[in-house]
Chain A
Amino acid sequence: MADALSLNGASGGNSSRARFQAEAGERGIRALLSGAAGTSVLCVAGILGFLAWFSLPLLQPGQLAAVLSWTWQPTSGRFGILPMAVGSLLLASSAMLLAFPLGLGLALFVNGLGPRVLAKHLGALVRLMSGVPTVVYGLASMFLLVPLVRASFTGTSGFSWLAAMLVLALLVLPTVTLVLDGQLRLVAPELRLTTAALGLSEAQSLVRLALPQCGQGLKAAAALGFGRAIGDTLIALMLSGNAAQVPHSPLDSLRALTAHIALVLATDSQSQAYGSLFACGLVLFGVSLAVNLGLRALRRGPRRAALSAHSDRPLPGLETAATGLAWASALLVPAALAALLGFLLLRGLPTVSLALFFGDTLPLDALLHGAPVFDGLWPACLGTLWLVGLAALFAVPVGLAGGIHLAEFATGRAARLAAFCVDLLAGVPSILMGLFGFALILLLRRTFWPSANTCLLLSALCLALLVLPYLVSATRAALAGLPQELRLTCAALGLSRWQAVRRVLLPAARQGILGGVVLALGRATEDTAVILLTGVVAGAGRPGALTDKFEALPFTIYYLAAEHQTPQELNLAFGAALTLLALTLALFALARRLSDGAWRPGT
């Protein structure tokens, strides 16, 4: 009787030893998981530490004033970064000023102001837009929009605030739209039947009731969009003209902080310039920190702001205005996208052939015997493949483990800190990851490895850092999305926490996690800013060793767009852009399919 009731079972010592081992194993696993979550904290601390350490020389007398000045003339020792700070601010705010109403219009259109048939396709289009690589937008705009601006206005080269602003708006539009759409989706359907039964039109329901409920969503969309806009490197670098000055009109050239970092490091200026670059990095880090803190404050605030008394002064015509905005956005955005991507197809499609990838080398020789390829994209494709593979090798295990820890085991202050750092890391401009890698090399050179240089391994590490937060968040969200009853059921059946996670929760969340992994791969494939600072070069050939320089598709596009000597080289850039676009769109579509098929309660 006593045996039957004993929790340890009848066979005494043997089974209790097994139990002890199992418990020790579980403790070990949980320590590993929490270590993975701690990695993101370390990464944020590392980035901030490096930035601060390398900007320390600025604290010497006179240095700070020199950096906070309006003139950038490194040859005469003047390292003022204020024009770039103002440039970044102007560019990002103006892009948001354009993207926000358009995003709002699109979100309203898909949530009921537009016909359902069109809404579905428009929603798909917006999600597709988030898969278009920045460098592809940059290339298409350089040869379509910039000449258009040059032709339409006198006294401008076309490379201007205006051109960069327009394309940047297009780039951040999916972020803004998807946040707003997500918020409207939470409240609008729930209201639809009620308001319809009261005789309100769909437009009235959306504009007067659903939208005022999304106050926090509107602010979150603005903050996220702004963070994305100010953190972008490639659009500013390729389209804004990069003159280190404060622009007087939208047709003037400007230089953003991100582009400034890329330009100065790429031209390998003397080391005094570095100090000011790290100051730029600190400013950018500060902006993403502010955006992040703002978002957290929004989330903590009262969930639903009290409604102002709409009925006291029902602004007439609000519905008409909203419908007008929705239709204008629904026409303008697809038109702009079609123009850019259509232009890309027009220029890129004729170049697609085996010669695009292998030049004059026989494809079989290149594939099987490693014959060198000139005038072809093959080395860049290989480089990208290696890069993304290595980055995934570093980031996926850490990201998944960190996500599991945050979703299932983490509690208290440490958990909040880790979650905050993951969010912050996700918002840090990618160029800062590159700067971090560059600083790492500087540090190694000064200490115990004087010959350290930027290379494939470093790029992969920094890219891993870039996609780590995506992996953590996706894993965490997929697990957190499972119903609480599932955990209770597992506990009631006597499973330990880790057993429940491994045998029940992880398999149930599999698709969502896989979707996150694929999305992270897509993000790693398209990024240019990180590798720009950490070892990518043109004409490196196929990657030999981890410590070699390498080629990559996005950089090839950027490099050829700026430095092409012959029309053939430019064609190569368009071919590369088309290849990269196809690759990332396929990855994004796959990620979406996976997330859509994710297990949900009741299915």
Chain B
Amino acid sequence: MTAIVIRDLTVTFGGRPVLCGLNLDVAQGGPTVLLGRSGSGKTTLLRAINRLNECLPGYETSGSVRVRLGGEMVDAYGADTRPETLRTRVGMVFQTPNPLPAGIAENITLPLALAHGLPKAEIAARVEASFREAGLWDEVKDRLEAPAASLSGGQQQRLCLARALAARPEVLLLDEPTASLDYQAAQGIEELLLELASRYTLLVVSHGLNQARRLARDVFVLREGSALEAVDRELLSDPEGFSHLMDELF
């Protein structure tokens, strides 16, 4: 079953086209991995799904993005879709850890209180659950009030993941979630993502073929000019095809 359907998506910034007439179907679950050279528009594509491009100056878009939310396909750009609501259902993890300038626990409670309007008891329950889900609970349970900036890079990234999970989204967009992490921390996140794929639809932007091979159920390559090409999984495990793709991409 498809979770995200993108048709004829065009995004321009200050008149310069970044994506042109792009089409993509993302299956439920995943992870679906999106590969491409830097500058090919992967991040913009991801941000088109939760309408985050709108927060940047000089942005214009056309085409349609539909996301399966609560069993129904919802037009992300529809007149009756509030971007804030959409973003609470479609979570995102950024390339570099971006904790809010607040305490560790507050990073999770603040959006739940403000964007979701949840009652206190529910928020408290979700804090521990999402920290456990992100495998961070044991490391932070004694210092929940400490500033989030006091965590290490890998911990911060897992905090951001926990924050996204706490919202109980249906889709999770991850923009090179391991790019700023060391090998071990990256491995931890990858394992976590594989586990999460059974409960959420995951769309992961990556620039590493190896990571794609480890993670992906579906792989797409985004080329210049917004040509999107599905890559056969077998090609990834075949050494010759792999190196061919490697040459082509990087």
Residues of A within 8 A of B (CB): 116, 187, 191-201, 204, 208-209, 213, 304, 306-307, 309-312, 314
Contact = CB atoms under 8 A, between A and B. Distances in A.
A307 to B, nearest CB: 5
B65 interface: no
B106 to A, nearest CB: 6
B115 A199 contact: yes
11 contacts: A191-B100, A191-B101, A193-B98, A196-B83, A197-B87, A197-B92, A198-B115, A199-B85, A200-B114, A306-B103, A312-B120
B69 interface: no
B102 interface: yes
A191 B114 CA distance: 15
The 8 A-B residue pairs whose C-beta atoms are closest, nearest first, are: A199-B88, A199-B115, A311-B113, A198-B111, A199-B87, A311-B109, A197-B92, A194-B98
Q: How large is the interface on B (under 10, 10 to 19, 20 to 34, 35 or more residues)?
A: 20 to 34
B55 A192 contact: yes
B110 A208 contact: yes
B84 interface: yes
B114 A311 contact: yes
Contacts of A187: 101
Nearest to A187: B101
A216 B117 CA distance: 29
B187 to A, nearest CB: 25
Interface of B: 50, 52, 55-57, 83-88, 91-92, 94, 98, 100-103, 106, 109-116, 120, 123, 147, 163-164, 167
A585 B84 CA distance: 42
Find the residue from A116, A191, A198, A311 having the highest chain B CB count within 10 A: A198
Contacts of A311: 106, 109-110, 112-114, 123
B116 A199 contact: yes
Contacts of B116: 199
Contacts of A197: 50, 52, 87, 91-92, 94
Given A192-B55, A196-B52, A199-B116, A209 B102 contact: yes
B interface, over-half SS: helix
A304 B101 contact: yes
Contact of B87 (A192, A196, A208, A304): A196
Contacts of B92: 197
A307 B85 CA distance: 26
Contacts of A196: 52, 55, 83, 87
B194 to A, nearest CB: 23
A312 to B, nearest CB: 8
A446 B86 CA distance: 80
Nearest to A319: B114
Contacts of B85: 199
A195 B163 CA distance: 11
A199 B109 contact: no
Contact of B111 (A193, A199, A309): A199
Contacts of B91: 197
B167 A307 contact: no
Given A208-B114, A311-B113, A200 B84 contact: yes
Contact of B100 (A194, A201, A312): A194
A193 B84 contact: no
Contacts of A201: 84, 115
Nearest to A200: B115
Contacts of B113: 310-311, 314
B101 A198 contact: no
